[in-house]
Structure formats: structure tokens, C-alpha cells
Structure 1
Amino acid sequence: MEALLSSFTAVAIAEIGDKTQLLSLFLAARFRAKGAIVAGILVATLLNHAASAWLGVWVAQFIPANWHNWLLGGSFIAVALWLLIPDKDDSEDTGVLRFGAFAASCMLFFLAEIGDKTQIATVLLAASFNDAVWWVIWGTTLGMLAANVPVVYAGSWLMQKMPLALARKAACAVFMLLGLYIICSDQLLALG
């Protein structure tokens, strides 16, 4: 259950101001079928994060066990700093929109997640919780949905009410604290 909660929290926070949130806003403005957009996000995220999680499990076998918390904590700190760099929506110039809301959302989200901070977080979380890879996949997928579904349904209104720069800084602070907590808890256990 710790893997599910950690994965959900990490991805939901990392997704704040991410390019896939901008993509959600773009798709919601382009298509009326909000349910189809959400279904596309779900399918794309499940496929992308499942592949990422299994990659993380495979990579974990080559990393000494006493390095896991250092790598996970360090990656959270790296993501915290990455959150301060605004993403841009590069989805407007694409031909996949002609396939409809579901197919376009599925394809664009899958591609947008490649190399994204939430995909990297999924790899690292799965490497840390390699005995609970399915919980990581569900946690990261639910975190993506928690961050993107509100944007699909109320994106324009949310973007006017929430200052994005402040949201990014708050998310950065949370990731910094989580990273330091993971590293320090590892050190406290080693001392105790």
C-alpha cells in the first residue's frame, strides 16, 4: 500500500504544470467528448507506465539495495528542480487529431510521456518498490488522472484561478522535502 500511495502522490504532484496538463487543456478545448479524452489518458498512461515500471524492476537488479533510497531521494530532488522549468505544449501541430478524442488523446499522451518526469518517476518508484510493481503502476496512473481529469473538465476555469508559477514552486518544495525525507530516513535507519 505504501507503493500505491507514494506513487500516486509523487506523480500527482510532479504533474502540476507539466506538458501533459497543457495537453489535457488543449484536448479539452479541441474536443467535446470529455469522457473519451479521459479514457485516452487512462489507456495511454497504463501502457506507458506499465512499460516504465517493468523497466524500473529490471534496472533495480543491477543497483545495490543500499543505494535505492539514495537514488529515489536524489531523483525526487532532481524532479523538484525540474518542476521549476515550465513545459510547453507542442501538440498543436499534429495530424492525429483527425482520429477523434479517444485515439488522439491516447496517442498524444503516450508520446508526451516518453522521457517525461512522471515516466522517470515511475521507473524509479518501480525500482524502489520492485516487489509491488502493480501498485506502482496503479498509483502513478491514478496520480496522472487526479492531475489531468480536473483540467479536462474545468481546465480554462482552473488556469484562471490558480497561478501556475506558485503551483510549480509549491510542488518543487514538496518534492524537495520528500527527497530529503527519503534520504534522511535511510540514514536514520542505518544509524539506529
Structure 2
Amino acid sequence: MAEFIKALFLVVVAEMGDKTQLLAMAMASKYKVKQVMIGVLVATVFNHALAVAVGSYIGSLIPMGIIKMVAAISFLIFGLWTLRGDKIDEDDEKKRKFGPIVTVAIAFFLAEMGDKTQLMTIAIAADNSNPLVILMGTTTGMLIADGIGIIGGAWMCRHIPEIYIKWVAGVIFMFFGTLTLYNIAPAWMISPLYIILYFLVLGVFIYIFGVKLAYHGQACDIVLANENSEGEVG
């Protein structure tokens, strides 16, 4: 149960402002919410099943110490990635040759390939021994996160600045990454000098990705545009 909750929680955090959440929001302006969520479910099951399989295979080959080191660094990267945010292009939404569910599933599956949540699923699966539980947790997390974006996006945009959500999510990832590094680091590295250097370097990267290179406002732009278009139609 703990593995399920951890996988679910980390995916919900990772998906906040992620490209696939933005895509789900955009798709909700064209299709019914039920159709979008079914398409997201189908795509996520296939995509994350592949990720879990890869992660489990890697976990059986590589020593656990190396896996934990890679996982820690990955969480730091995911944190910076979250601060920077994602954007979607018109190419992510095109090719509507099929029905709504198939269209959403194909677009979502392709957008998720190599995306943050897929890579994180690989990292989680490599560090755990129950792939089915991880798959169930990450899939449930994706549905919750995208459901929040589609259904509650307008409320969040009116009451919670988008940048706050991104920074909270990013800090959570960097906390987990830092904690893992602390637990596996040799004793000689746990000294004030190395700790200060670590946070200085991390602070520089946070400034670069969270301030200089960050994408701002796209999630709320999509949600509010959808809301305005629905109002005009009504």
C-alpha cells in the first residue's frame, strides 16, 4: 500500500503543469471530459506498463546503490523541470482522424514518451519490487492530476497563482532528491562545506530553470480560453 501511495503522490506532483496535463486540458475544449479521461487512462496504462517493465528490468541488473543515486539525481532534475514547466505545440493536438477517445489516447501516448512522468515511473519501478502496484499507483496518479487540471483548473487559476503550484511541486521533488542523496552519501561528504556548496549549486540551477527559462501561465491560459469559448457558445 505504501508503494502505491508513493507512486500515486509523486505522479500527481510531477503532472502539475506538465505537458501531458496541458494537453489533457486542451483536449477537454474539444471533447467531453469522460472521453478525454478514458483516452488518458488507455494511453497511461500502455505507456506506464512499458515504463514499469523497463524500470523493473533495470532494477534486476544494476546494484541498488547505483539505482538510488540515479533516482536521487532524477528527482532533482524532475524538480527543476517542474519549476521550468512545459508547453504544448499545435503538433501535440493535431491528427484528429479517429474518434475522440482514440485521438486523445494516441496524442497522450505520444506526448508521454520521454516525458517527466514516464521517466519518473521508470525510476520508481527500478527501486521497487512490485511492478503491478507501481503501475496502478502511477496510472491512478495521472488520472487524478489530469482530472484536477480539467475539472478544477478554472477554480485553481482564479484562486491559486500557477507559479505557486509549480514551485511547491518542484520543491517536493528536490526535497526527495536531496534526502536520498543525504542517505546514500559517504560520511566524509556530510560536512558544512559540502552541504553549503550543494545548496549553492542547487540554488543556481533553481534560478536558471525556475526564473530565467520558466514558462509562465500556459496552463491557466488554456483553461481560461476554454472557459471563455464555452461562455461564448452558451
The answer to whether the superposition gives a TM-score over 0.5 is yes
Q: Report if the CA contact (8 A) 1:37-1:152 is conserved.
A: no
Q: Aligned residue for 1:163?
A: 161
| Structure 1: gaps (5+ residues) | none
Q: Aligned residue for 1:153?
A: 151
1:8 matched to 2:8? The reply is yes
Describe the SS at the equivalent of 1:84. Answer: helix
Q: Aligned residue for 2:131?
A: 133
Higher relative contact order (CA 8 A, sep 6+): 1
Percent identical among aligned pairs is 33
Write the distance in 1 (CA, Å) between the matches of 2:182 and 2:93.
45
1:25 matched to 2:1? The reply is no
Q: Report if the CA contact (8 A) 1:53-1:133 is conserved.
A: yes
Q: Report if the CA contact (8 A) 1:69-1:182 is conserved.
A: yes
State the Cα RMSD in Å: 1.9
Matched to 1:57, the amino acid is S
Equivalent runs, 1:100-119 vs 2, <5 Å: 100-119=99-118
TM-score (norm 1): 0.88
Matched to 1:71, the amino acid is V
Q: Report if the CA contact (8 A) 1:91-1:108 is conserved.
A: no
Counting matched residue pairs gives 186
Q: Report if the CA contact (8 A) 2:11-2:138 is conserved.
A: yes
Between 1:136-145 and 1:61-70, the stretch displaced more is 61-70
The Cα offsets for residues 45-81 of structure 1, whole Å up to 9 and x where unpaired, read as 0100000110111122231122222222221111111
The Cα offsets for residues 121-167 of structure 1, whole Å up to 9 and x where unpaired, read as 001111000x2111111111111111101222243343343322221
Matched to 1:43, the amino acid is V
* Deviation of 1:9 (Å): 1.2
Write the distance in 1 (CA, Å) between the matches of 2:142 and 2:67.
24
Q: Report if the CA contact (8 A) 1:23-1:91 is conserved.
A: no
Q: Aligned residue for 1:121?
A: 120
| Structure 2: gaps (5+ residues) | 187-234
Q: Aligned residue for 1:40?
A: 39
